[in-house]
Structure 1
Amino acid sequence: MTETPVHPALWPAPVATGAVDATVTVPGSKSVTNRALVLASLAAEPGWLRRPLRSRDSLLMAEALRALGVGIEETVSSSSTPAGDPDGSGEAWRVIPAGLHGPATVDVGNAGTVMRFMPPVAALADGPVRFDGDPRSYERPLNGVIDALRVLGARIDDDGRGALPMTVHGGGALDGGRVEIDASSSSQFVSALLLSAPRFNQGVEVRHVGGSLPSMPHIRMTVDMLRQVGAQVDEPETGGEPNVWRVSPSALLGRDLTIEPDLSNAQPFLAAALITGGKVTIPDWPERTTQPGDQLRRIFTEMGGSCELTDRGLVFTGSGSIHGIDVDLSEVGELTPGIAAVAALADSPSTLRGVAHLRLHETDRLAALTKEINELGGDVTETEDGLHIRPRRLHGGIFHTYDDHRMATAGSIIGLAVEGVQIENVATTAKTLPDFPRMWTEMLAGAGN
């Protein structure tokens, strides 16, 4: 009997045979790594990034900065501590600022941080910088950054699209000053302007004038990291005007920064403990962080687990039951796919709110989650700003990912409890979580075996 060949782009999601019991070391945060790369490149002196994330998004950012003249040297420590890595913390990147210059071409891939954080940097370069990327990048909103940079003195050729591809004609400096933007479609519009603002002649005053601002933790992360390198920032969180951020012109310090683990990328592993009634430990979970993934401790506890921050890291334990949840995810939208996957396996309905902006991410995540979970037998409906999920008995099938890393991990979460789930293009997880299939199968190796 001839077996039906498995399509090479389909990955059979492993089913858990029992409760997981694993320690999973999660690579560094993409959000922190890419912000740190920009700030280090604009500093007045060299700096170090230790334990940076090496993924498609972060390597695209490093290559973009190299294209403008920044030196980024990579070292990897072995069993002995090499020169240049004095604390033995593993891989490190030495960032050596230089005069930014064109002509250059930047490939943004489909990385929101690269397509939004780099144009203000390019405006400071001497010469033209062309931006291009994956086909999906042409559809993602960029007008907030483009329009703001024009107000601040930049010359940009985008043929009126407000999107990629485009060319930033850098003049070696940027006036800066006051600008109003609508960042309701992406908080990255605000972060993009703030990160380069210390190098603007007048600094910047950014006023958000649109609707609800999503993903506020990421703006707090930007402000916190700016202050770490010596920038002066006035913000709403510290008594400033609502929806107004001011950054003064200044030189930035070169820092020696160790990158935190990516807490959002810990989500599928914590979900595995919740779904299987097992235990997963994530080493080096920070006691204080601006990462939105830290809210997983609260959300997954409400859904039936428990957690403890110990010397070993975060220890998360599932109870064997999964409860539905009614939750506003406006500040932590990137967690929505994983939460939706867990909710599809719960014992009661869930409503996920405040995430209309996910329609503009790597894919339309609300439509994609609805379609893929429903095609496995689920009952998900889109709302104006989120999803309503009624758990039903699911069955196997192909879970399409739309080149979206968080769709791939969401499908893998469902596959823990549902036989026959096949993930299309699981390799897309390399965007922020390199080698996810190996990490997943190693976690499951001790599950009931």
Structure 2
Amino acid sequence: MTETPALPALWPAPLADGTVRATVTVPGSKSVTNRALVLAALAAEPGWVRRPLRSRDSQLMSDALRALGVGIEETVSSSSAGDGAGGEAWRIIPAALHGPTTVDVGNAGTVMRFLPPVATLADGDIRFDGDPRSYERPLGPVITALRTLGARIDDDGRGALPMTVQGGGALEGGTVEIDASNSSQFVSALLLSAPRFNQGVEVRHVGGKLPSMPHIRMTVEMLRAAGAQVDTPEAGGEKDVWRVAPSALLGRDMVVEPDLSNAQPFLAAALITGGTVTIPDWPRRTTQPGDALRRIFTEMGGSCELTDAGLVFTGTGKIHGIDVDLSEVGELTPGIAAVAALADSDSVLRGVAHLRLHETDRLAALTKEINALGGDVTETADGLRIRPRRMHGGTFHTYDDHRMATAGAVIGLAVEGVRIENVATTAKTLPDFPKMWTDMLAGDAGGSGAPGAGAGA
């Protein structure tokens, strides 16, 4: 990755001085990249992950898999499938997993939850550690479920990091109940490794409403694409029950879609300024939660069209409040809250109580930071009530949360003098965001070193 200039501790969020008209190339999906890496590492033969996201979260995942013995060769290539998926590609070479080693999860939910099941298949002790915030994020249900399935885990009774998985080279598997109401990643974590368990797995969710169901559907589709047999509620199975049969996974050629959730701030820029932003390669069918932005931002005053050039989104400069259930797309909440703070009427964002357990307590953080700029946000039991007010400049704190940083930048388009504390945290999933943001305002393309496509419209 090319070295980028150091960013100031307080980054001045650019104020839009006119309508935004740009094409923005968004890097690959973190959710798809990290699932693809796990599945390729557990396959019976080498495979490819093409157009992967290169960010802190994906680097943590690839470094962890390398520490377990997996070979990952980073190359630039053309697609053998002839589908235009050339560019950066990682060749994944599976190997016998082994310890002892230590895995640094950082503050990446996918790494801290997806890799302990993988570690049970290793021969040797695998210690998991990470950033201080990772100690506070929920992991107990995954630990308990793995023990039920036959794993040996030493966590000193915390039900959280740091911990050590005492890998025995295999895991028996079977039926397990888990309360995944705090994170859909708990279910995905068990499903991804399940084909390698001796009995596969039957996962039964026994808690409240499952959040972020699109991410579970993403896991299931990617498992099936790798050759796994998965029975799901959507396929006529029991409600909140998933079954994965034991089998060998195939080494596939997997192409990573653009991260649609990371397109959010750029689409918001078009909505706020009455401009047009085009996102190339927007898929016509996807399991990514970010696809809901087409509907949500249209209800808030924009319009969009899927064309051969990608998703073309246009705003009118008028932003309407919205009453919306975001339980399936909770990661979009910070960006929607930022736009709602600039709307012409009140908004209610519902179904996202689980965001209190994300990279930070996102509901408390959004309330505090928007209100510090003169906004009027109130926490509810499961979300936020936002009453638009005239706002002023000030420091917008990020709490080491990438989506807080981009939310602050969105507000800064319309509010002069907003300074983002630690904008560098966007590198978690959106490398080079500050440059992409300023390039967009200049009418240029952005994204992971892609060549500029010039102004669109």
TM-score normalised to structure 2 length: 0.94
Q: Which residue pairs with 2:45 in the alignment?
A: 45
Once the two structures are TM-superposed, the CA of residue 83 in structure 1 deviates from its matched residue by 10
Kept in 2, the 8 Å contact 1:40–1:47? The answer is yes
Q: 1:328 to 1:88 in 2, by over 3 A?
A: closer
1:10 aligns with 2:10: yes
1:162 aligns with 2:156: no
Letter of the 1:406 counterpart: R
Distance 2:82 2:312 in 1: 30
Kept in 1, the 8 Å contact 2:272–2:319? The answer is yes
Letter of the 1:365 counterpart: R
Q: How does 1:38-187 map to 2 (within 5 A)?
A: 38-77=38-77, 89-187=86-184
Q: Which residue pairs with 1:348 in the alignment?
A: 345
Q: 1:260 to 1:88 in 2, by over 3 A?
A: closer
Q: 1:310 to 1:173 in 2, by over 3 A?
A: same
Q: 1:159 to 1:269 in 2, by over 3 A?
A: same
Q: Which residue pairs with 1:237 in the alignment?
A: 234
Distance 2:236 2:255 in 1: 29
Kept in 2, the 8 Å contact 1:234–1:245? The answer is yes
Distance 2:165 2:199 in 1: 20
Task: Give 3-state SS (helix, strand or coil) of 1:130's partner.
Answer: strand
Q: Provide the alpha-carbon RMSD of the alignment.
A: 1.5
1:419 aligns with 2:416: yes
Distance 2:276 2:86 in 1: 27
Distance 2:227 2:82 in 1: 23
Q: Which residue pairs with 1:445 in the alignment?
A: 442
Superposed CA deviations along residues 366-389 of structure 1, whole A, max 9, x for unmatched, are: 000000000000000000000000
Task: Give 3-state SS (helix, strand or coil) of 1:91's partner.
Answer: strand
Kept in 1, the 8 Å contact 2:321–2:347? The answer is yes
Kept in 1, the 8 Å contact 2:85–2:255? The answer is no
Superposed CA deviations along residues 297-330 of structure 1, whole A, max 9, x for unmatched, are: 0000000000000000000000121000000000
1:327 aligns with 2:324: yes
Of 247, 252, 255, 1:255 maps to 252
Letter of the 2:108 counterpart: A
Kept in 1, the 8 Å contact 2:227–2:250? The answer is yes
Distance 1:310 1:82 in 2: 23
Q: Which residue pairs with 1:266 in the alignment?
A: 263
Letter of the 2:118 counterpart: V
Once the two structures are TM-superposed, the CA of residue 8 in structure 1 deviates from its matched residue by 3.4
Kept in 1, the 8 Å contact 2:23–2:443? The answer is no
Distance 1:198 1:167 in 2: 23
1:198 aligns with 2:187: no
Distance 2:299 2:12 in 1: 30
1:379 aligns with 2:376: yes
Task: Give 3-state SS (helix, strand or coil) of 1:93's partner.
Answer: strand
Distance 1:50 1:200 in 2: 27
Kept in 2, the 8 Å contact 1:181–1:208? The answer is yes
Distance 1:200 1:75 in 2: 31
Q: 1:124 to 1:12 in 2, by over 3 A?
A: same
Q: 1:330 to 1:84 in 2, by over 3 A?
A: closer
Q: Which residue pairs with 2:404 in the alignment?
A: 407
Once the two structures are TM-superposed, the CA of residue 337 in structure 1 deviates from its matched residue by 0.1
1:296 aligns with 2:293: yes
Letter of the 2:429 counterpart: T
Distance 2:85 2:297 in 1: 34
Task: Give 3-state SS (helix, strand or coil) of 1:49's partner.
Answer: strand
Letter of the 1:299 counterpart: I
Q: Which residue pairs with 1:20 in the alignment?
A: 20
Q: Which residue pairs with 2:448 in the alignment?
A: none
Once the two structures are TM-superposed, the CA of residue 85 in structure 1 deviates from its matched residue by 10
Q: 1:86 to 1:385 in 2, by over 3 A?
A: closer
Distance 2:176 2:332 in 1: 31
1:277 aligns with 2:274: yes
**Structure 2 unaligned residues grouped into runs of 5+:** 1-6, 445-454
Distance 2:409 2:155 in 1: 39
Distance 2:261 2:326 in 1: 13
Q: Which residue pairs with 2:213 in the alignment?
A: 216
Distance 1:318 1:63 in 2: 41
Distance 2:177 2:350 in 1: 27
Letter of the 1:350 counterpart: S
Distance 1:88 1:383 in 2: 44
Letter of the 1:153 counterpart: G
Q: Which residue pairs with 2:449 in the alignment?
A: none
Q: 1:43 to 1:156 in 2, by over 3 A?
A: same
Distance 1:130 1:189 in 2: 19
Letter of the 2:373 counterpart: L
Superposed CA deviations along residues 50-72 of structure 1, whole A, max 9, x for unmatched, are: 10000000000001100000000
Once the two structures are TM-superposed, the CA of residue 76 in structure 1 deviates from its matched residue by 2.4
Distance 1:84 1:313 in 2: 21
Once the two structures are TM-superposed, the CA of residue 181 in structure 1 deviates from its matched residue by 0.5
Kept in 2, the 8 Å contact 1:85–1:92? The answer is no
Task: Give 3-state SS (helix, strand or coil) of 1:331's partner.
Answer: coil
Kept in 1, the 8 Å contact 2:137–2:358? The answer is yes
Kept in 1, the 8 Å contact 2:51–2:85? The answer is no
- Counting aligned pairs with the same residue, the percent is 85
Q: Which residue pairs with 2:4 in the alignment?
A: none
